[in-house]
Amino acid sequence: MQKISLKLSIFKPDPCLVSGWMKKVACPLLLLSAAICVGQETDIKTKIKELKDKDPVVRMYAAEALGKTGDKSVVPELISAFKREKEVAPKEYIIDALARIGDSRSVSLLLEVLQKKKEPHGVRIGAAAALSFFKNENVVVALSNLVLDEKESIGLRKTAVRSLGTLANRKAITALKEVLNSKDKGIRTEAVMSLGNIGGDEAIDGLSLALNDSEPVVRQVAVEALGKIGSEKAVKELEKVLTDEDVIVKESAKGYLKRIKGK
């Protein structure tokens, strides 16, 4: 019987074809990539120069553009720009840019702005919101002190409460529980939501206090927060709401209890 032998050969591309592909496809792509990088670098340099432009609108949009790059190397330039800036709007844009980038070098400036009562109100609110991007113990302390300062505006304190909820640091719970005694319904509601974001037994203690609030909307938000936590302790608190005088609050508690126990 005649033997049939098969020879397997490794594919070897034609050097001419490879060379042609490199010239037509790969090289142009590499050049395009390099051009984009150079373009981005040039654009960043341009935007940094525009931070010193005479027109505040140009300075605003330069800060916005730099923030969108996410490039941490521009942080010192943004900080310097903020310190020399006299107009409110560019300051707000710079703070937003620093928050977008999220570099820890921004924290000291933002804390300074937060505590500096001479700064425009909107700028301080922007700083309070921006600090929610920085998980830093000093940030939690500063925001907690602010929410308890009744001499500060409700708008600023509300923003600080929201930021504490975003940071979800348990060290903020004590301050948030104190805020539940505020005369302002809005800030009490924000405090309840923040306690719900933080969660845990200590936060539930605060939510339990909120279930006795005079305003149905605050009690309703507390029910939602407890329902989302869904722990055994939260269930016990929800069961207390089944006798609430407000139908919406009561029915909401029933719904969350049914959902939790049905799991």
CATH code for position 245: 1.25.10.10
Residue 35 has pLDDT above 60, yes or no: no
Alpha-carbon gap, residue 80 to 181, rounded angstroms: 40
Predicted pLDDT at 92: 98
Neighbouring CB atoms inside 10 A of 76's CB total 12
Out of 115, 134, 153, pick the residue that ends a domain. Answer: 134
Alpha-carbon gap, residue 181 to 188, rounded angstroms: 7
59: domain range? 42-134
Q: What is the band of 261 on the pLDDT scale with cuts at 50, 70, 90?
A: confident
Predicted pLDDT at 36: 45
Q: Classify residue 246 by burial, with Cβ atoms within 10 Å: 0-12, 13-18, 19+.
A: middle
Mean of pLDDT values over 98-102: 97
In a domain, 175, yes or no: yes
Mean of pLDDT values over 56-66: 96
Out of 108, 134, 160, pick the residue that ends a domain. Answer: 134
- Better-predicted residue by pLDDT, 139 or 16: 139
Q: Are residues 190 and 107 in the same domain?
A: no
Mean pLDDT of the chain: 88
Q: Which of 104, 114, 175, 161 shows the shortest CA–CA distance to 136?
A: 104
In a domain, 145, yes or no: no
Mean of pLDDT values over 54-83: 96
Residue 190 has pLDDT above 50, yes or no: yes
71 φ/ψ angles, rounded to the nearest 5 degrees? -80, 115
Residue 40 has pLDDT above 50, yes or no: yes
Out of 78, 107, 134, pick the residue that ends a domain. Answer: 134
Q: Are residues 175 and 262 in the same domain?
A: yes
Residue 121 has pLDDT above 50, yes or no: yes
Q: Are residues 255 and 175 in the same domain?
A: yes
Mean of pLDDT values over 192-203: 96
Q: What is the band of 262 on the pLDDT scale with cuts at 50, 70, 90?
A: confident
Instruction: Name 257's Cβ contacts closer than 8 Å, sequence gap at least 6.
Output: 235, 238, 239, 242
Tokens describing residue 165: 């909820």
Q: Are residues 67 and 128 in the same domain?
A: yes
Q: How many domains does the chain have?
A: 2
pLDDT digits (tens, 9 = 90+) for 3-29: 444 444 444 555 544 455 444 555 555
In a domain, 236, yes or no: yes
Alpha-carbon gap, residue 216 to 211, rounded angstroms: 9
Residue 141 has pLDDT above 60, yes or no: yes
Q: Which of 203, 199, 210, 201 shows the shortest CA–CA distance to 241?
A: 210
Mean of pLDDT values over 151-170: 97
Alpha-carbon gap, residue 26 to 20, rounded angstroms: 10
Predicted pLDDT at 20: 53
Predicted pLDDT at 56: 96
Tell me the residue length of the chain.
Answer: 263
Q: Are 207 and 192 in contact (CB under 8 A)?
A: yes
In a domain, 21, yes or no: no
Residue 255 has pLDDT above 80, yes or no: yes
